C-alpha cells in the first residue's frame, strides 16, 4: 500500500500526527487503532453528518499538504507516484469518507492482495465489498498503463521488475519497420559532395540475401565490393554480369565496413545500366544444332587439330566430351584446341575452366593460352570448385545473351561431379559408388548450357571425362553424361603408352549431325575415308591417318589425295 493511502486512512481514523509519520509507524498506528474496542473509537453519531464530512475533508487536505512537503528521498522507489498521483490524491477524501462506514478493515485486506490501492478507493464508493473485488480486476490494465510511462501493461510498479520487463517487451520494437537507406540491412548509398569515390569493376555474384562484385577473379577475395539487392532489382542485374561502378570510401568518423558498398553503377557488360534491363533471358533463347564450323587446323605440324577436324568436327554451340583415361594426353589436347580457337576464331570469347587441377597445370594454361583461365586448384575446398564453375558458366550465359560466341573448355566434368558430391547437401538417395543423386544435377546443368542460339550467339562447351580409373564413382558420373553430348573425342591409354600422339581413337570419335558442318563434297570424302579406316585396327587406323597427314601440308590436300586414291564401292553422290 502506498504511503499516501496509509496517511489518508490514518487521518480518517483520527490518528494524531499521521502526516509526519513514516510508513512503518503508520502501519503500527493503524493496526493499534483497529484493535481498540468500539467504545474507544470516536463515534460519528455525536456530530451531525455534515460536520463529520467537513472535518474529514479538512484532515484529508492537511494530510495532502504534508505529503507534498515530504522529500522524495524518504519514499521507496516502488512507492513513488507517477505524474498521475496528484489527481488521484485529490479524489481520495471522498473515498475515505465512504470507506470508514462500510467494512474498512476488509477493504484494506483486499487492497494488500491486489496491490491496487488507487483503483480500490475509487470503487469503495459503491459500498459493496464483493463488487469492489470485480472492479479491481477489471481496472488493473488501465491503472498499469497510467503508472508506466513507456506503454507497459501490468503490475510492474509493485514488484520492482518493471524496467527489465519493459526492455524485454521492447526488444523487437523496430524489426518490422521498413528498411531505409543506411539501415540495418542496406548500406547508405547516398553520395555527398565531400565523399571520396573509387572506381571498381568485377563479376557480379548474387547469393541468397546479398550480392558481391568479385574484383579479384571468380573466387571471394578481400577487395570484393558489396552491392545491395535493391540496386540488383533496380537494374535487373544477373549473376555473371560485368559491373563497373563507384565505391564510396568510409566517411570521417564512420565505422569501417568489411566490404565497401558500391553506390553507383556506370556500366553493365559494357553498356548503360538502363539498357541491361531489357535483355532477353538465356533460358528463353531457342537452341539449334551447330551450323557454323570451328576449324582447329592452324599449321601442318598441328596434328591434334587436323585429326579432330577430320574425325570429329566441332561447330559453334557444340556440346562435346573428351573421354580419356588417366595419362592419355587430354590436357595437351585441351591446350591445342584452345590455341587453335584463338588463332582461327578470334571473335569467340574463350574461357578455360580448370576444376580441382594441379597448380603447375594452371600456370601452364595461363602462359600458353590466350584466353580467360578460371581455376580452382585441388588444395582448395570443394565449395570453391563449385563456386568457380557456377560463376564461370553464368558469365558465359550473360555474354551469349548479348549475342557473343563463347567457347568454354572444362577440365574436367568428372572432378566437378565429385566436388558437388562433397559440397552439396545430401538428399538421402545414394547411387552406386557413393554418388548422391542430387550431386549430378548441377554438373548436368553446366554441361547442358551449351547451345547454338537462333539469330545470333552460341555457347560451346568441351569437357573432359575420366574413365578407366578403377573408381565406381567415375563410371557412374560418366554414364550420366554419356548420351548428353552431341560430339565425342575418345583417347586411348594404350596409344599414349606406345607414344602415339595424339592418342585419338578416330573410329570411336564422331559428331552428331556433322552434315550441317561439312560441305557435300567434303562429307562424301570423309565418309569414304571412314569406311577404309573402320576396316582396320584402331591403332593401325590412327597410324595410317597420321602418316598421310604428315605428308600433306593441309587437310584439303589430304582429302583430295583420299578422293583420288581410295576406291569407293557403291559410290554415293
Query: Do the beta carbons of residue 363 and residue 186 sit within 8 Å?
Result: no
Task: Give CA–CA dist 441/421, Å, rounded.
Answer: 10
Query: Do the beta carbons of residue 496 and residue 460 sit within 8 Å?
Result: no
Query: Do the beta carbons of residue 493 and residue 329 sit within 8 Å?
Result: no
φ/ψ (deg, to 5) at 374 = -115, 120
Query: Do the beta carbons of residue 144 and residue 153 sit within 8 Å?
Result: yes
pLDDT band at 59 (very low <50, low <70, confident <90, very high): low
Q: Is 331 annotated as a binding residue?
A: yes
CA 14 from centre of chain: 75
The answer to whether residue 175 scores a pLDDT higher than 70 is no
Cα dihedral 486, 492, 493, 496 in deg (nearest 10) = -120
3-class secondary-structure state, position 126: helix
**Whether 275 and 401 share a structural domain:** no
Q: Is 317 annotated as a binding residue?
A: yes
41: its cell numbers: 473509537
Q: Is residue 402 part of a domain?
A: yes
Averaged pLDDT, 438-451 = 95
Instruction: Write down the pLDDT at residue 127.
Output: 43
**Whether 253 and 383 share a structural domain:** no
Instruction: Write down the pLDDT at residue 179.
Output: 44
- 483-494: b (≥16 Cβ within 10 Å) or e: eebbbbbbbbbe
Query: Do the beta carbons of residue 186 and residue 217 sit within 8 Å?
Result: no
The answer to whether residue 105 scores a pLDDT higher than 60 is no
Number of domains in the chain: 2
Q: For residue 202, give Cα distances in angstroms to 189, 400, 471.
A: 19, 18, 39
pLDDT band at 571 (very low <50, low <70, confident <90, very high): low
Last residue of a domain, one of 229, 247, 279: 279
Q: Is residue 59 part of a domain?
A: no
Cα–Cα nearest to 28, from 15, 41, 40, 39: 15
DSSP assignment of 210-238: -EEEESSSSS--TT-EEE-HHHHHHHT--
Q: For residue 6, give Cα distances in angstroms to 1, 21, 80, 321, 387.
A: 7, 10, 14, 95, 75
Instruction: Write down the pLDDT at residue 428.
Output: 85
CA 23 from centre of chain: 62
| Model confidence pLDDT, tens digit, residues 380-390 | 999 999 999 99
Last residue of a domain, one of 279, 303, 330: 279
| Model confidence pLDDT, tens digit, residues 297-316 | 999 999 999 999 999 999 99
The answer to whether residue 359 scores a pLDDT higher than 70 is yes
**Whether 265 and 323 share a structural domain:** no
Instruction: Write down the pLDDT at residue 569.
Output: 58
Instruction: Write down the pLDDT at residue 570.
Output: 56
| Model confidence pLDDT, tens digit, residues 229-287 | 999 999 999 999 999 999 988 777 777 678 888 999 999 999 999 988 889 999 999 99
DSSP assignment of 440-482: GHHHHHHHTT-EEETTS-EEEEEEEEE-SSS-HHHHHHHHHHT
Q: In terms of C-beta density within 10 A (0-12 exposed, 13-18 middle, 19 or more buried), how is residue 168 classed?
A: exposed
503: its cell numbers: 592418342
**Whether 333 and 454 share a structural domain:** yes
Q: Is residue 16 part of a domain?
A: no
Identify the CATH number of the domain in which residue 401 sits: 3.40.50.300
- The residue count of the chain comes to 573
Q: β-strand 487-490 against 319-324: which pairing, if any? A: parallel
Task: Give CA–CA dist 154/147, Å, rounded.
Answer: 9
Query: Do the beta carbons of residue 246 and residue 262 sit within 8 Å?
Result: yes
Residue 227's domain comprises 197-279
Hey, how many other C-beta atoms are within 10 angstroms of the C-beta on 540? 11
CA 149 from centre of chain: 41
Cα–Cα nearest to 275, from 237, 245, 244: 237
**Whether 318 and 394 share a structural domain:** yes
**Whether 306 and 347 share a structural domain:** yes
Name the average pLDDT for the chain. Answer: 80
| Model confidence pLDDT, tens digit, residues 448-496 | 999 999 988 999 999 999 999 999 999 999 999 988 999 999 999 999 9
Instruction: Write down the pLDDT at residue 106.
Output: 44
| Model confidence pLDDT, tens digit, residues 515-556 | 999 999 999 999 999 999 999 999 999 999 999 999 999 999
Task: Give CA–CA dist 213/225, Å, rounded.
Answer: 5
Last residue of a domain, one of 234, 255, 279: 279
pLDDT band at 86 (very low <50, low <70, confident <90, very high): very low
- Give the position of cell 539487392: 229
Q: Is 315 annotated as a binding residue?
A: yes
Which contacts of 343-346 are long-range, i.e. CB under 8 A and separated by 24 or more positions?
343/298, 344/294, 344/295, 344/296, 344/297, 344/298, 345/294, 345/295, 345/405, 345/407
Residues 6 or more apart whose Cβ sits within 8 Å of residue 209? 229
The answer to whether residue 90 scores a pLDDT higher than 60 is no
For the ranges 50-54, 280-284, 346-350, the lowest mean pLDDT is seen at 50-54
Q: Is residue 255 part of a domain?
A: yes
**Whether 363 and 473 share a structural domain:** yes
Task: Give CA–CA dist 43/78, Å, rounded.
Answer: 36
Q: Is 202 annotated as a binding residue?
A: no
The answer to whether residue 180 scores a pLDDT higher than 50 is no
Q: Is residue 410 part of a domain?
A: yes
**Whether 443 and 494 share a structural domain:** yes
Task: Give CA–CA dist 5/1, Å, rounded.
Answer: 7
The answer to whether residue 366 scores a pLDDT higher than 90 is yes
Q: Is 320 annotated as a binding residue?
A: yes
Q: β-strand 451-453 against 458-466: which pairing, if any? A: antiparallel
Task: Give CA–CA dist 143/123, Å, rounded.
Answer: 13
Q: Is 332 annotated as a binding residue?
A: yes
The answer to whether residue 135 scores a pLDDT higher than 70 is no
Instruction: Write down the pLDDT at residue 282.
Output: 95
Task: Please state the pTM of the whole predicted model.
Answer: 0.68
**Whether 315 and 275 share a structural domain:** no
**Cα angle: 228, vertex 394, 339; to 5 degrees:** 135
Identify the CATH number of the domain in which residue 262 sits: 2.40.50.140
Q: Is 318 annotated as a binding residue?
A: yes
- Give the position of cell 496517511: 7
| Model confidence pLDDT, tens digit, residues 389-435 | 999 999 999 999 999 999 999 999 999 999 999 998 888 899 888 99
Q: Is 316 annotated as a binding residue?
A: yes
pLDDT band at 44 (very low <50, low <70, confident <90, very high): very low
Hey, how many other C-beta atoms are within 10 angstroms of the C-beta on 123? 21
**Whether 271 and 298 share a structural domain:** no
Instruction: Write down the pLDDT at residue 126.
Output: 44
Q: Is residue 41 part of a domain?
A: no
**Whether 251 and 308 share a structural domain:** no
Averaged pLDDT, 153-176 = 52
Beta bridge partner(s), residue 511: 487
**Whether 292 and 272 share a structural domain:** no
Amino acid at each position: 500500500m502506498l504511503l499516501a493511502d496509509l496517511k489518508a486512512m490514518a487521518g480518517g481514523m483520527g490518528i494524531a500526527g499521521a502526516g509526519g509519520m513514516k510508513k512503518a509507524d503508520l502501519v503500527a498506528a493503524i493496526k493499534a487503532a483497529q484493535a481498540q474496542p468500539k467504545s474507544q473509537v470516536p463515534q460519528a453519531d455525536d456530530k451531525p453528518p455534515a460536520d463529520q464530512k467537513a472535518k474529514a475533508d479538512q484532515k484529508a487536505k492537511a494530510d495532502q499538504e504534508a505529503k507534498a512537503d515530504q522529500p522524495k528521498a524518504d519514499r521507496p522507489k516502488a512507492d513513488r507516484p507517477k505524474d498521475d498521483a496528484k489527481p488521484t490524491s485529490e479524489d481520495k477524501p471522498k473515498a475515505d469518507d465512504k470507506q470508514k462506514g462500510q467494512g474498512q478493515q476488509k477493504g484494506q485486506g483486499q487492497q494488500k492482495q491486489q496491490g491496487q490501492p488507487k483503483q480500490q478507493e475509487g470503487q469503495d464508493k459503491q459500498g459493496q465489498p464483493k463488487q469492489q473485488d470485480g472492479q479491481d480486476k477489471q481496472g488493473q490494465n488501465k491503472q498499469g498503463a497510467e503508472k508506466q510511462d513507456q506503454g507497459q501493461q501490468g503490475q510492474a510498479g509493485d514488484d520492482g521488475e518493471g524496467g527489465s520487463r519493459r526492455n524485454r517487451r521492447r526488444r523487437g520494437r523496430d524489426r518490422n519497420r521498413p528498411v531505409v537507406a543506411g539501415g540495418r540491412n542496406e548500406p547508405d548509398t547516398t553520395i555527398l559532395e565531400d565523399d571520396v569515390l573509387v572506381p571498381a569493376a568485377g563479376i557480379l555474384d548474387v547469393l541468397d540475401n546479398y550480392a558481391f562484385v568479385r574484383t579479384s577473379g571468380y573466387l571471394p577475395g578481400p577487395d570484393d565490393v558489396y552491392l545491395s539487392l535493391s540496386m540488383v532489382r533496380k537494374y535487373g542485374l544477373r549473376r555473371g554480369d560485368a559491373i563497373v561502378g563507384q565505391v564510396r570510401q568510409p566517411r570521417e568518423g564512420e565505422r569501417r565496413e568489411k566490404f565497401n558498398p558500391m553506390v553507383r553503377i556506370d556500366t553493365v557488360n559494357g553498356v548503360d545500366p538502363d539498357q541491361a534491363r531489357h535483355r532477353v533471358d538465356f533460358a528463353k533463347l531457342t537452341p539449334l544444332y551447330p551450323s557454323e564450323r570451328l576449324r582447329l587446323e592452324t599449321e601442318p605440324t598441328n596434328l591434334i587439330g587436323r585429326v579432330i577436324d577430320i574425325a570429329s568436327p566441332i561447330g559453334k554451340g557444340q556440346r562435346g566430351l573428351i573421354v580419356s583415361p588417366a595419362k592419355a594426353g587430354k590436357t595437351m589436347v585441351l591446350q591445342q584446341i584452345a590455341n587453335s580457337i584463338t588463332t582461327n576464331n578470334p571473335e569467340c570469347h574463350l574461357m578455360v575452366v580448370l576444376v580441382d587441377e594441379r597448380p603447375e597445370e594452371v600456370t601452364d594454361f595461363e602462359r600458353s593460352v590466350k584466353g580467360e583461365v578460371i581455376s580452382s586448384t585441388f588444395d582448395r575446398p570443394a565449395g570453391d570448385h563449385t563456386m568457380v564453375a557456377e560463376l564461370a558458366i553464368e558469365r558465359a550465359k550473360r555474354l551469349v545473351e548479348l549475342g557473343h560466341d563463347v567457347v568454354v573448355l572444362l577440365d574436367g566434368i568428372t572432378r566437378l561431379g565429385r566436388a558437388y558430391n562433397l559440397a552439396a547437401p545430401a538428399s538421402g538417395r545414394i547411387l552406386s559408388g557413393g554418388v548422391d543423386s542430387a550431386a549430378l544435377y548441377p554438373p548436368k546443368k553446366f554441361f547442358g548450357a551449351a547451345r547454338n542460339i537462333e539469330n545470333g550467339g552460341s555457347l560451346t562447351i568441351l569437357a573432359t571425362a575420366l574413365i578407366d580409373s578403377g573408381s565406381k564413382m567415375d563410371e557412374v558420373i560418366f554414364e550420366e553424361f554419356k548420351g548428353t553430348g552431341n560430339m565425342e573425342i575418345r583417347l586411348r591409354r594404350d596409344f599414349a603408352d606406345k607414344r602415339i600422339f595424339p592418342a585419338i581413337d578416330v573410329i570411336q570419335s564422331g559428331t552428331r549431325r556433322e552434315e550441317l558442318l561439312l560441305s557435300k563434297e567434303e562429307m562424301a570424302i570423309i565418309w569414304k575415308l571412314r569406311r577404309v579406316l573402320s576396316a582396320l585396327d584402331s591403332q593401325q587406323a590412327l597410324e595410317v591417318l597420321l602418316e598421310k597427314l604428315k605428308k600433306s601440308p593441309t587437310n584439303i590436300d589430304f582429302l583430295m589425295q583420299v578422293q583420288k586414291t581410295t576406291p569407293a564401292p557403291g559410290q554415293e553422290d
